[in-house]
Structure 1
Amino acid sequence: MVDGGDESCVRFGQSPWVAREMDVDEHIAAGRVTVHDDSQAFLAHLDQLDVDAEAEEARD
């Protein structure tokens, strides 16, 4: 097994990195991506994700 790797990936001859790249390709193909106009918009989106997660935790 590759150090730090996922055993299922190694069995199929894929490194964990390749498996993650394939996951990303699936998300892109399904349209599950967000594109930002600039770095400020990106950071604002990350901040909002934090706010949303905290609100979700508070409801639980």
Structure 2
Amino acid sequence: RLAFTLEGGYNLQVDSCALRATFDVLLDNPETVDPLGQSSARKPGGFEEHIERIKQIHHIA
């Protein structure tokens, strides 16, 4: 069983694109296209450092 949480709120175009992209990835479809284009929102960063620290704390290779 799989459960997905898709962002898009009440924008049905965004919801349908997100659902399609989700299944494209699951089906390993190389033809995945994002008709909405790149987001203009600032991309979050700095997660790599947090992940490495968590791996150290929990002794994960």
More helix by share: 1
Q: TM-score, normalised by structure 1?
A: 0.33
Q: TM-score, normalised by structure 2?
A: 0.33
Decide which structure has the larger Cα Rg and report it.
1
Greater length-normalized contact order (CA 8 Å, ≥ 6 residues apart): 2
